[in-house]
Amino acid sequence: MSTFHDQFEPDPESDGETRVWSTNKPLLQNAVVAFAPPYPEYPKLKLGRSRQASGDPSCPSARDVGDDIVVTLYCNNDNGFGDYHELAWDFVMANASEIEASLRRKLFAQHQKALKQFLEEVLPGDRKTQNYWKKIEGEIDWHVPSAVEHLYNLVGVGLVDNGLDESGFCSFEFQSGWDRDHGVGIIMHKTNVLAAGGMQEDISRGPDLVESLKYVQSYDLDDGDLALQES
How far apart are alpha carbons 211 and 42 in whole angstroms? 36
Average pLDDT over residues 115-124: 97
Per-residue pLDDT at 49: 74
**HSE of 172 in the Cβ direction (CA atoms, 13 Å)?**
30
CA–CA–CA angle 183, 187, 189 (5° rounding) = 160
Closest among 33, 31, 30, 43 to 135, alpha carbons compared: 43
Model confidence at 206: pLDDT above 90: no
- If pLDDT is split at 50, 70 and 90, which confidence band does 78 have? confident
Instruction: Find the helix packing angle between 96-117 and 83-94, rounded to 10°.
Output: 90
pLDDT digits (tens, 9 = 90+) for 57-66: 999 999 998 8
Per-residue pLDDT at 164: 93
**Could you report how far apart the first and last alpha carbons of the chain are, in Å?**
32
Q: Mapping DSSP to helix (H, G, I), strand (E, B) and coil, where does residue 29 land?
A: coil
Per-residue pLDDT at 4: 95
Percent with pLDDT over 90 in the chain: 83
Radius of gyration for the alpha carbons in the chain, expressed in angstroms and rounded = 18
pLDDT digits (tens, 9 = 90+) for 153-199: 999 999 999 999 999 999 999 999 999 999 999 999 999 999 999 99
- If pLDDT is split at 50, 70 and 90, which confidence band does 1 have? low
- If pLDDT is split at 50, 70 and 90, which confidence band does 230 have? low
Average pLDDT over residues 107-136: 97
**Positive or negative CA dihedral for 38, 173, 204, 51?**
negative
Closest among 49, 89, 47 to 64, alpha carbons compared: 47
> Looking at this protein, which amino acid is placed at residue 41?
E
Per-residue pLDDT at 48: 77
Q: What are phi and psi of 107, to 5 degrees?
A: -60, -40
pTM: 0.95
Contacts 24+ apart (CB under 8 A), 219-222: 220/195, 220/196, 222/105, 222/106, 222/109, 222/110, 222/193
